Amino acid sequence: MKKVIAILVLILGISFNAKAQEAKTVSLEQTKGEFTQKQITLSEGTYIFEVANNNVGTDVGFVLHPKGKKGQENHIKEAYVTSLVKNNTKQTSKKVTLKKGKYTYFCPLNKTPEYTLIVK
């Protein structure tokens, strides 16, 4: 009986861990000089950012960092798109686990303003 309980606990633990690793996709669109999403609110969790370049005319990217912590050393590197987003295409980031707080996102290549991402 103890073995059966131990196996059930192990299976449940693996199941919960697998669900914890699931990532939701956050779709963002850039047009010339801006993101179309001006503010984003999310729950704590793991996300993949999908960035679309909607006829910007140049390659674009994506930078995310904790609000108030400027500088490349504070960028959340996993949030960078895996390659530059060419005109009229999309690219995704790696998985990013976000905790409660405020973050800032922008594109230095498209010279967008800085926007707020809130994690509740």
Using the Cα atoms of residue 38, residue 64, residue 118 and residue 98 in order, give the sign of their dihedral: positive
Does residue 4 sit in helix, strand or coil? helix
Could you give the CA distance from residue 50 to residue 93 in angstroms, rounded to a whole number? 7
Instruction: Delineate the domains of the chain, giving CATH numbers in brackets.
Output: 23-119 (2.60.40.420)
Q: What is the pLDDT of residue 12?
A: 47
Condensed to tens digits (0 to 9), the pLDDT of residues 75-108 reads: 999 999 999 999 999 999 999 999 999 999 999 9
Extract the residue ranges of the chain whose pLDDT is less than 70.
Answer: 1-21
Give the per-residue pLDDT at 13.
Answer: 52
Report yes or no: 33 and 53 within 8 Å, Cβ to Cβ: no
